[in-house]
Chain A
Amino acid sequence: MNSAKPLVGSFVRIQKRDLQSLVDELKAVHDRVVGPREIDSAIVYDDLDHVDQLPIGVIDHQEGGVYRLTHESSDSHFDYVVGPQSLKSFLFPPHETISESFRKDGQWEIQAVETPATRIAVLGPRACDLRGLAIQDKVFLEGPYVDPGYKRRRDALFIVAVNCRRSVATCFCHAMDCGPAVTSHFDLALTEMDECFAVEIGTSAGGVAMDATSWEPMSETEVAQAKEVSVELEESMRNGTSARQMETGGIRELLMDNLEHPRWQEVADRCLSCGNCTMVCPTCFCSSADEVADLSGDHVRRERSWASCFTAEHSYMHSGNVRKTTRSRYRQWLTHKLATWQDQFDSSGCTGCGRCITWCPVGIDLTEEVAAIRGE
């Protein structure tokens, strides 16, 4: 073991089998360690005790409406990319009790529900998902009001990110300036090399965790080699090998000046309004608040749940639904992601993760929709 902790910003090397020491250390200081697991033919986040549980040698194939895994006899730990889940479900859970009311002797008492956050260390998020996290931070932490539950969970999250070596056909992080290189919002970032993992130290907590491994310093040449992994992947994505493309120049005006474009109706004719895209999207943050009462009505929970702009309830008003058609709902979703998000939060609402393309049952592809409106 090394005597000094690795410094923030530095790169160190660990042998592949030494990843287990890191997992053990994370297990010791966090309530849960989660990582990518192959469950029911998809890569999802689940509890990780042992590195052997990672989908080693698994490769994913993604296309509009298609997700398929194949198994190869390689020792690559992370050559699948993103599955249906992102970090969103850890920080902004699909259901959460936000307050509770109790009635005793005819008097109400209303209490905040502020359960301490589970301290989670997550292994595996990619560049696109770290951007998704940064975008949700802006929504939940940086507006006039802070979401207290999100803040508690966010403060308790430890991130071991992974630099992609491979993309799938639905990826377009390069076009959204989100990846494939991991650049911020991580404690540690791994790059898988032939014989070892290169580990970039993002925070002092990351440095402390690395201390449990037999890390070795990396030479400048070795660091350059590790960084080259992302550079090469980005180049191949730009050249159109295994990636979607999207021209983002002037996209806000393009969409907002074309709110009556016939393409909205064409996509609406295919769209099922199922809302899958909003569920898998790492940045979608809409929610509804509903009452859950016990039989007596004396104990009431107020529950916040993920909502989707594809439902009728989302825009319901007593005078009628504002968005009555699939056309208007798809338009709301796409213009929000790519255009009005910029007005609201100073960035795009899309990270180029491609999930909405893969998990759309009819394979609707936002990059195609944008190109069509551009007249390409």
Chain B
Amino acid sequence: MVDRQSVTPGNPWVAQLARIQGIQQELPSVATYDLVLEDPTVAEAFKFQPGQFNMLYLPGFGEAAISISSDPSHLASLQHTVRAAGNVTTALSRVHVGDQLGVRGPFGSSWPLEACRGKDVVIACGGIGLPPLRPLIYYMIQHREEFGRVHLLYGARTPGELLFTDEFPPWQAAGIEMAVTVDLGYDDWTGDIGVVPVLFHRLNLNAHKTIVMTCGPEVMMRFVIFEALARGIDPRNIYLSMERNMQCAVGLCGACQLGPKFVCKDGPVFTYEQMEPYLMLEDL
């Protein structure tokens, strides 16, 4: 099961201080913040599973749920890749190396490492959906022999909005089979054009030994799921990461409810079997 320990076991509402030790501007509106927890005992105890998230806190602005995007075996560098969307995330885009922020976490369920062992894996993501999967990619590269084929299907609106492109060659060299697509290509774009789910058409999958994991806009995930189901993949072998408004991240505020589930503590990673009754309903 999921590691439920929190950096603040006593009071789950209260953030621990962390210092920003690096900022990598990925795109004009996306940056990766590398954090180190200030209290050494807290830092020592901090462990996370790929797919889990932290609540990042800027006093005076508020909190945002942000997935951890770094290597789970390299805890000295806790990275969070953030798109400036609204109040908190835009304030975050103005911080500097050496500044402090608050962290609560890690929270939530994680990608199904156990279920993936010995299986082929399809990771299908769009835009800012790649960072929550990057810890999983690192893990799979480090334990490559434990998994069958690993496909990474990734898309963005334009080539300029693709994240982590520097890492694509090493990932491919490490045995990740990548397919990248954009909605709008420029003249020098030689890759695919179209949405992520379409990339499924070139995969030759063995439905009985394939696990699909998807993260990105809900519409994209729905189409990925359609493609997976159409290829005979069992709803229990399709995993998706859901987003909902989160005020507490610990099951106390009710904001993240999705049908009977709390996205913060039962998710964010769910099987399609769990989400099936709710995902296609408008406005649920």
Contacts and interface: CB of A to CB of B under 8 A. Distances in A.
A112 B9 CA distance: 12
A222 B283 CA distance: 56
Most chain A Cβ neighbours within 10 Å, of B102, B217, B253: B253
Contacts of B244: 315, 317, 322
Interface string A127-142: 0000000000001100
Interface in B1-47: 4, 6, 10-17
Nearest to A300: B59
Contact of B259 (A147, A304, A340): A340
Contacts of A148: 10-13
A309 B254 contact: yes
Contacts of A101: 59-60, 102
B252 A98 contact: no
A319 B217 contact: yes
A110 B248 CA distance: 16
Contact of A114 (B11, B247, B250): B11
Interface residues of A, number: 56
Given A107-B100, A110-B17, A143 B251 contact: yes
Interface in A316-333: 316-319, 322-325, 327-328, 331-332
Interface string B244-284: 11011011111101011010010000000000010001111
Interface string B57-101: 101111100000000000000000000011000000000000010
Contacts of A339: 260
Given A287-B247, A315-B244, A144 B4 contact: yes
B192 to A, nearest CB: 25
A110 B60 CA distance: 12
A332 B245 CA distance: 15
Contact of B13 (A98, A144, A336, A343): A98
B243 A344 contact: no
Nearest to B16: A110
Given A144-B265, A328-B283, A103 B59 contact: yes
Contact of A340 (B245, B251, B260): B260
A287 B257 CA distance: 12
A101 B15 CA distance: 10
A147 B252 contact: yes
Contacts of B61: 291
Given A256-B277, A288-B253, A110 B59 contact: yes
Given A143-B252, A256-B277, A315-B245, A110 B102 contact: yes
B247 A307 contact: yes
A273 to B, nearest CB: 14
B85 to A, nearest CB: 4
Interface in B202-256: 217, 243-245, 247-248, 250-255
A286 B262 CA distance: 12
Interface in A260-289: 260, 285-289
B251 to A, nearest CB: 5
Contacts of B63: 289
Most chain A Cβ neighbours within 10 Å, of B4, B262, B283, B284: B283
Contact of B254 (A112, A260, A307, A331): A307
A154 interface: no
A241 B4 CA distance: 50
A319 B245 CA distance: 11
B242 to A, nearest CB: 11
B62 A144 contact: no
Given A315-B244, A343-B260, A344-B262, A286 B255 contact: yes
A259 B247 CA distance: 26
Most chain B Cβ neighbours within 10 Å, of A145, A318, A327, A343: A145
Nearest to A278: B254
Given A110-B59, A287-B247, A307-B253, A99 B284 contact: no
Contact of A98 (B10, B14, B255, B262): B14
A317 B243 contact: yes
A99 B250 CA distance: 16
Contacts of B6: 145
A94 to B, nearest CB: 14
B241 to A, nearest CB: 14
Given A108-B59, A145-B12, A148-B11, 20 more contacts: A99-B11, A103-B59, A107-B100, A110-B57, A112-B11, A112-B14, A140-B252, A144-B250, A147-B13, A148-B10, A148-B12, A286-B255, A288-B247, A291-B59, A291-B60, A293-B60, A307-B254, A322-B284, A328-B283, A344-B262
Interface of B: 4, 6, 10-17, 57, 59-63, 85-86, 100, 102, 217, 243-245, 247-248, 250-255, 257, 259-260, 262, 265, 277, 281-284
